[in-house]
Structure 1
Amino acid sequence: MNIISNLIEAHIIRKIDSGIEFLLMKRNPNEKYPNIWQMVTGTIDGNEKAYETALREIEEETSVKPEKLWVVPIINSFYSHEKNEICFVPVFVTQFGKDVRIKISDEHSEFLWLQKEEAKQLLAWPGQRKSVDIIYDYFSGKDNSLKFIEINLSA
């Protein structure tokens, strides 16, 4: 069995008057995992670093270029029975302003901005729901012990 890391998970949040909202997108029926709600996901291309994939996928799937990107202190994982592989998935988050204009790619059919509990109800996998909790605790200031690393995008 191989252990690989060729995918990313990238959450998009915005702060509004009533708190923090998470962007979820519904996959098109003709895509792998049809009709599930998810954050930005994607495959690492060639020699890309995982965070470079996150930046590229965010822009491809939402038409918005992130100005900031943080590493979320969690790694999601899953087992692929087709390839007999365990895949580790690094998690990232970016924050946009409340007036951001999202234009989703053909990979998705619709999108919603949701409060934490609403987002968790739509997400299919426990690791993704845990990521939402960690991101919420950090950006809402509920857990001051959390330290997210911000990636320097100007380098």
Structure 2
Amino acid sequence: MMKVTEREIFEILSGKISGVINRTVLKAFAQTGIDITTEQWTVLSCLWDKDKIIQQEICDLTQKDKPSVTRLIDNLEKKDLVKRVSDPADRRNNLIHLTPKGIALKQNTTEVVHNIVNYALEGISDDELIRAKDVLLRIMHNLKIY
């Protein structure tokens, strides 16, 4: 097994790559007039895949805690991108629902994110990406067991 240096461990734990990606996406959103954060985009992205889901499902999909997701949904509601609707099957729950404005945001944000991802992955082969994905998924699996 290859030894990982303390510096590499720090960079992994500090979220250095994630931070660079988030800052790049946020800057690109601002340059294109998209007024959301990368965290808000992750919530919207969940809803673009499956609209009208409960908050706990968003927590599970984004790996964020309930207070953080509540804050994100509150801010998305203020921007008229989502709304809460009572769940007819269980009145204790609210379904988080995209508004027409939230639906309309999908195309532009998706294009921005795809452009950044394509740029970031430039020069990386499909085989390298597959190996990297496999390693990252194994790390996630190992940590869920821990």
Q: TM-score range by the shorter chain?
A: under 0.3
| Bigger relative contact order, structure 1 or 2 (CA pairs below 8 A, ≥6 apart) | 1
Q: Which has the larger radius of gyration?
A: 2
TM-score (norm 2): 0.26
